[in-house]
């Protein structure tokens, strides 16, 4: 039996982070990886990781993004570089006419997000910012909201705590401040290098996109103003690099919807699983409390590694559905579940929250036109 639908050739444009995004796209039947590429002047550790990933995927690694695009004529670029390079790579891919998939966060720089948004629009290409909106429990929340059972949504809250460590705990006496990039490189082996890059990123910047994408999808209401408290409470790397590992954000949205985000990388000891991740949605007729990891299956056995999670998520089609969503957007000139514009808006919320954490004042969220 042959597949009748078109598949898209994609280039993995940098795969220096834990490569779950290009791996997920490569697993999808509508996408074929044809090359891994990155800028030739990247440091050696970047090339090493890219080469390793290319070898795993059985495709060439080409130093020089434009050179790879010209030689392999991909239709899609899947970008999983350091966050600070996401947008620049995305702009160049979009200008070459490629549709783009970008790992989260879109960028720590709102100007860069705006530049990429312009490039995507000007080149009329599709975009997808990697997210978790297709997790089964999140889809269940969406279904309940859309059913009208809750009435009009008036409040939406997300608690998003990752029970992970990030190097030495706060207060650890070290001979020198922790270098952010080196710490992230060390964390690559266990997949906790979500903030990989030269620029240090707080938890709001690294993971904030996930919960804010939930709330964006569920409320369909832009966030206009935020008030935030941010802190470094857990990890010495965050202290040394002056970025948050715990934050609370009050969200004021269109249609008078109020919400909140509590987010943190709160240490592996704080929860037996990946962390307590929840949605609390309240409407004029009722509310719903959603545990994001469900459905899951628990495993406990002799000799179990303490580094393993005891609960495994099951029936999780998030990656597959993201691929479907992106392919559908290209096929039918449709919107994706979270495009660059959405990623840009979330970046604006995160930046406003960081400003608020410093000013102790409510901060307006910067819109594209302003």
Least gap, CB of 156 to other proteins (angstroms): 10
Closer to other proteins at the Cβ: 102 or 277? Answer: 277
Kindly list the residues in this chain that would bind other proteins in the complex (CB under 8 A).
Answer: 154-155, 157, 159, 161, 163, 169-170, 224-225, 227, 229, 231-234, 246, 248, 250, 252-258, 260, 262, 264, 266-267, 269-271, 276, 278, 280, 282, 285-287, 289, 291, 360, 362
Query: Smallest distance from the beta carbon of 125 to other proteins, in angstroms?
Result: 33
Of the pair 71, 155, the CB lying nearest other proteins is at 155
Rounded to a whole number of angstroms, the minimum distance from the CB of residue 269 to other proteins is 5
For other proteins, the closer of residues 120 and 246 by Cβ is 246
Q: How far is the CB of 262 from other proteins (least distance, A)?
A: 5
Beta carbon of residue 232, minimum distance to other proteins (angstroms, whole number): 7
Three-state SS for the chain is: CCCCCCCEEEEEEEECCCCHHHHHHHHCCCEEEEEEEECCCCCHHHHHHHHHHHHHHCCCEEECHHHHHHHHCCCEEEEECCHHHHHHHHHHHHHCCCEEEECCCCCCCHHHHHHHHHHHHHHCCCEEECCCCCCHHHHHHHHHHHHCCCCCEEEEEEEEEECCCCCCECCCCCCCCCCHHHHHHHHHHHCCCCCCCCCCCCHHHHHCHHHHHHHHHHHCCCEEEEEEEEECCCEHHHHHHCCCCEEEEEEEEHHHCEEEEEEEECCHHHCCCCCCEEEEEEECCCEEEEECCCCEEECCCCCCCCCCCCEEECCCCHHHHHHHHHHHHHHHCCCCCCCHHHHHHHHHHHHHHHHHHHHCCCEECCCCCC
Comparison of 9 and 271: residue with beta carbon closer to other proteins: 271
> Between 96 and 262, whose beta carbon lies closer to other proteins?
262
Q: How far is the CB of 266 from other proteins (least distance, A)?
A: 5
* Residue 139 vs 155, nearer CB to other proteins: 155
């Amino acid at each position: 039996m042959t597949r009748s639908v078109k598949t898209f050739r994609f280039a993995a444009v940098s795969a220096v982070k834990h490569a779950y995004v290009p791996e997920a796209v490569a697993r999808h039947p509508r996408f074929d990886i044809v090359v891994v590429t990155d800028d030739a002047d990247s440091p050696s550790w970047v090339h090493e990781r890219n080469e390793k990933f290319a070898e795993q995927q059985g495709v060439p690694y080409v130093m020089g993004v434009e050179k790879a695009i010209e030689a392999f004529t991909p239709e899609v670029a899947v970008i999983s570089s350091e966050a600070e390079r996401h947008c620049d790579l995305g702009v160049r891919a979009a200008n070459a006419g490629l549709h783009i998939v970008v790992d989260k966060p879109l960028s720590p720089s709102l100007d860069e997000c705006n530049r990429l948004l312009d490039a995507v629009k000007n080149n009329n290409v599709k975009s997808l910012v990697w997210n978790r909106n297709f997790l089964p429990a999140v889809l269940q929340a969406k279904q309940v909201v859309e059913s009208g059972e809750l009435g009009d949504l008036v409040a939406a809250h997300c608690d998003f705590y990752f029970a992970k460590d990030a190097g030495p705990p706060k207060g650890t006496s070290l001979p020198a401040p922790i270098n952010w990039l080196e710490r992230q490189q060390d964390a690559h082996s266990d997949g906790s290098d979500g903030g990989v890059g030269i620029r240090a990123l707080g938890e709001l910047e690294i993971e904030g996109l996930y919960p804010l994408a939930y709330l964006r999808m569920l409320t369909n209401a832009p966030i206009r103003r935020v008030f935030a408290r941010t802190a470094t409470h857990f990890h010495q790397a965050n202290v040394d690099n002056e970025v948050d590992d715990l934050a609370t954000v009050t969200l004021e949205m269109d249609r008078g919807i109020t919400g909140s985000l509590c987010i943190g990388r709160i240490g592996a000891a704080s929860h037996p699983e990946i962390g307590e991740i929840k949605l609390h949605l309240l409407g004029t007729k009722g509310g719903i409390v959603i545990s994001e990891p469900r459905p899951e299956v628990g495993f406990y056995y002799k000799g179990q590694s303490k580094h393993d999670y005891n609960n495994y998520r099951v029936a999780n089609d998030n990656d597959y559905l993201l691929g479907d969503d992106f392919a559908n957007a290209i096929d039918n000139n449709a919107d994706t579940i979270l495009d660059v514009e959405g990623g840009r808006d979330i970046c604006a919320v995160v930046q406003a929250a960081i400003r608020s954490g410093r000013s102790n004042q409510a901060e307006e969220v910067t819109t594209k036109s302003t």
